[in-house]
A = this chain, B = another copy of it.
Amino acid sequence: MSSLLVDNIGELVTNVAGSGEGGPLGIRRRAALLVEEGEVAWVGPAADAPAADGRIDAAGAAVLPGFVDSHAHLVFAGDRAAEFAARMAGEPYTGGGIRTTVGATRAASDGELRATVRRLRAEALRQGTTTIEIKSGYGLTVADEARSLRIAAEVTGETTFLGAHVVPAEYADRPDEYVGLVCGPMLAAARPYARWIDVFCERGAFDADHARAILTCGQAVGLDVRVHANQLGPGPGVRLGVELGAASVDHCTHLTDADVDALASTASDDGQTATVATLLPGAEFSTRSPYPDARRLLDAGVTVALATDCNPGSSYTSSMPFCIALAVREMRMTPAEAVWAATAGGARALRRDDVGVLRPGARADLIILDAPSHLHLAYRPGVPLVRQVLHNGVPR
List residues of A whose CB falls within 8 A of some B CB: 79, 81-82, 84-85, 88-89, 123, 126-127, 282, 285-286, 288, 316-319, 321-323, 325, 328-329, 332, 334-335, 370, 372-373, 375-376, 378-384
Question: Known contacts A88-B335, A319-B382, A382-B322: does B285 contact A81 (CB below 8 Å)?
Answer: no
Contacts of A321 in B (CB 8 A): 382
- Please state if B381 and A81 are interface contacts (CB–CB under 8 Å): no
Chain A to chain B contacts (Cβ below 8 Å), 18 pairs: A79-B372, A81-B379, A85-B334, A88-B328, A88-B332, A88-B334, A88-B335, A88-B378, A123-B383, A127-B383, A282-B381, A282-B382, A285-B329, A286-B381, A321-B382, A322-B382, A322-B383, A382-B382
Q: Which residue of the partner chain, among B89, B317, B376, B383, contacts A380 with CB atoms under 8 Å?
A: B317
Residues of B within 8 A of A81 (CB): 373, 375-376, 379
Q: Could you tell me the distance between the alpha carbons of A378 and B384 in the complex, rounded to whole angstroms?
A: 16
CB < 8 Å neighbour of A384 from B127, B282, B372: B127
The residue among A85, A376, A383 with the most chain B CB atoms within 10 A of its own CB is A383
Tell me if B329 and A382 are in contact (CB < 8 A): no
Which of B82, B126, B329, B375 is in CB contact (< 8 Å) with A375? B82
Query: Which residues of the partner chain B approach A383 to less than 8 Å between Cβ atoms?
Result: 123, 127, 316-319, 322
Chain B residues with Cβ below 8 Å from A85 are 334-335, 375, 378-379
Q: Which residue of B lies closest to A80 (CB)?
A: B379
Determine how close the nearest CB of chain B comes to the CB of A24; give it in whole angstroms. 15
Contacts of A316 in B (CB 8 A): 376, 379-380, 383
A89 to B332, CA, bound (A): 7
Q: How many copies does the complex hold?
A: 2
Q: How close is A325's CB to chain B, nearest CB, in angstroms?
A: 8
CB distance from A112 to the nearest CB of B (A): 14
Shortest C-beta distance, A144 to chain B (Å), equals 24
In angstroms, Cα B79 to Cα A168, docked, is 52
B residues within 8 A CB of A126? 384
Q: Min CB distance, A379 to chain B, in Å? A: 5
A322-B321 Cα distance, complex, nearest whole Å: 12
Given contacts A127-B384, A384-B127, contact A334 B379 (CB under 8 A): no
Separation of A332 and B90 alpha carbons in the complex (Å) = 9
- With A335-B88, A375-B81: A317-B381 Cβ-Cβ less than 8 Å: yes
A288 surroundings in chain B (CB, below 8 A) = 329
Q: Are A285 and B384 in contact (CB under 8 A)?
A: no
CB distance from A364 to the nearest CB of B (A): 24
Residues from chain B with a CB closer than 8 A to the CB of A384 are 126-127, 384
Task: List 6 tightest A-B contacts by C-beta distance, closest first.
Answer: A322-B382, A319-B382, A81-B375, A384-B384, A84-B379, A81-B379
Alpha-carbon gap, A329 to B285, bound state (A): 7
The distance in angstroms between the C-alpha atoms of A379 and B315, with both chains bound, is 8
Bound: A92/B155 CA distance, A: 45
What is the chain B residue whose CB lies nearest that of A284?
Answer: B329
A378 to chain B: which residues have CB within 8 Å? Answer: 84-85, 88
What distance in Å separates the Cβ of A368 from its nearest Cβ neighbour in chain B? 16
Bound form: Cα–Cα A396–B89 in Å: 35
Chain B residues whose C-beta falls within 8 Å of the C-beta of A375 in the assembled complex: 81-82, 84-85
Report chain B residues within 8 Å CB of A282. Answer: 381-382
The answer for the CA separation of A88 and B325 in the assembled complex, in Å, is 11
Report how far A319 CA is from B384 CA in the complex, Å: 9
How far apart are the CA atoms of A282 and B329 in the complex, in Å?
11
A290 to chain B, nearest CB (A): 13
> How distant is the Cα of A85 from the Cα of B332 in the complex, in angstroms?
10
Alpha-carbon distance A81/B317, docked complex (angstroms): 25
Q: A208 → chain B, closest Cβ, in Å?
A: 33
**Chain B residues with CB under 8 A of A84:** 375, 378-379
